[in-house]
Structure formats: structure tokens, C-alpha cells
Chains A and B, each alone.
Chain A
Amino acid sequence: QQQVKQSPQSLIVQKGGISIINCAYENTAFDYFPWYQQFPGKGPALLIAIRPDVSEKKEGRFTISFNKSAKQFSLHIMDSQPGDSATYFCAAAYSGAGSYQLTFGKGTKLSVIP
């Protein structure tokens, strides 16, 4: 069973602080690592993604750090805001021929308090 392990399960951060969510994967064939953001009552939506040929990708306040040798990747949210309060899922996929599935982590519920 291919797995993506995500931690922590829940996270409380003060407004303006840094939120960090970590994920680890097992299958070295994975070559696409997205993060999805889900607000209550909504479906998940793609937030940011990275491929293993780079060690970091930044989009605004959101940064993915990727460590290929450790098979780990993490999401950093800088200057966290109450509007960032949501559940975050990491995922991994193999983008080669015949691959159609994302493997998701169990999710992290982030609460940013004023």
C-alpha cells in the first residue's frame, strides 16, 4: 500500500506566525507532490505543487520545501492569517504512463488565531 504520512494532525498558530506541515512518502517513483487546501463545507482545491527536480517552490506566502533523499516535503505558510484556517492535504503521484491516482495524506487542520 503506497502511503503518504502527514503531520501534525492539527495545528494552532498565532496570526503572523509560521505554519509548518510535514509529509513523508515511501514510493520513490512519485514525481509530483501537490498540496490541497479545504475550507469547511467545500471540496479540496489545489494550492501549490512541486516536482522533485527542485528543492523549493514559493507562491506568495506559501512555500513547499522538498528533500528527495529523505523522501520528505513540507508546506510553510508565512505570516499566517485567520483566513488560512482550513484543512491541508499533501499528496503524491507518479505522472508516468498509466498513472491516474493521487495518494493523499490524512490532512492537517490548521487554526490561525488572532
Chain B
Amino acid sequence: NAGVTQTPKFRILKIGQSMTLQCTQDMNHNYMYWYRQDPGMGLKLIYYSVGAGITDKGEVPNGYNVSRSTTEDFPLRLELAAPSQTSVYFCASSPRRGLAGGGANVLTFGAGSRLTVL
């Protein structure tokens, strides 16, 4: 199994450009998440989804949008890129609560997408 796959791994954007970070998982997990990681700041939740068609805001949603049309895919869209969105973005997924130990709280992360906005 591939687990959680993110593309692209690296991207440089100009201010005002838009782009989509792709995330797909092959573990049939219900829950999916987008985090951003900035140096010394830990992981901040941007958006999450508890199933296809259901999404909700996390701690830092401004400037981002998500959709979840299938169980497998959870793309993150940046509409008007700003320098403050320079970060490393991680997609993660977790199973339904009650499975695999902590269930919904056992996250499997992708390898990350490093985005630079100039």
C-alpha cells in the first residue's frame, strides 16, 4: 500500500497565483486532514473531512479551500497565494474511531509538499 500520497513535493508560486495540492490515500480511511508546518510552530490544522462530501475548518483555514468528492482524495486549493502561505503542507488520514488502537486519532501522514510564495 502507498498510504498517503501528496503531489507536488515542491512548488514555487508568485504572489496572487493559485494552485491545488493533491492528496490521495488508499487505506479507505474516513477522516482526512490538511496541516501546515512552520519552523518552531508545530502542526496547525487547516481543514479536515470526516467523509466524502463533508469538510470543516480547522485552526488556520483563511486563504485555503478544500473539497472531498471521494473517500480517497482531499485536495487543498490556494486561490490567491501570499508570502504568509510559504510553508510545508502535510496531508493525513485516519480510520473510523474504534479501529486500530486510537482509531480516528491515529494519523498517517504523507511526505509533505513544500510551497514557497515569492
Decide: B45 and A101 in contact? CB cutoff 8 A. yes
- Cα-based distance from A106 to B107 in the complex (angstroms): 17
Quick check: A106 and B105 within 8 Å, CB to CB? no
Residues 1-45 of B, flagged 1 when their CB comes within 8 A of A and 0 if not, give: 000100000000000000000000000000100000000111101
A62 in the interface (beta carbon within 8 A): no
Interface residues of chain A: helix, strand, loop or mixed (majority): loop
Contact partners of B31 in chain A: CB under 8 A = 100
List chain A residues, Cβ under 8 A from B112.
41-43
Q: How far is the CA of A99 from the CA of B41 in the complex (A)?
A: 23
Number of interface residues of B (CB under 8 A): 25
Q: Which residues of A contact B (CB under 8 A)?
A: 6, 9, 32, 34, 36, 41-46, 49, 89, 93, 95, 99-102, 104-107
Tell me whether B105 and A44 are in contact (CB under 8 A): no
Given the known inter-chain contacts A41-B111, A95-B97, A100-B50, please indicate yes or no for A34 contacting B40, CB distance below 8 A.
no
Q: Is B109 within 8 A of A43, CB to CB?
A: yes
Pick the contact of A43 from B45, B50, B90 — CB < 8 Å? B90
Q: Answer yes or no: B104 CB below 8 A from chain A CBs.
A: yes
- What are 10 inter-chain pairs, A to B, with CB distance below 8 A? A42-B112, A43-B90, A44-B90, A44-B109, A45-B109, A95-B103, A100-B50, A102-B45, A102-B107, A106-B42
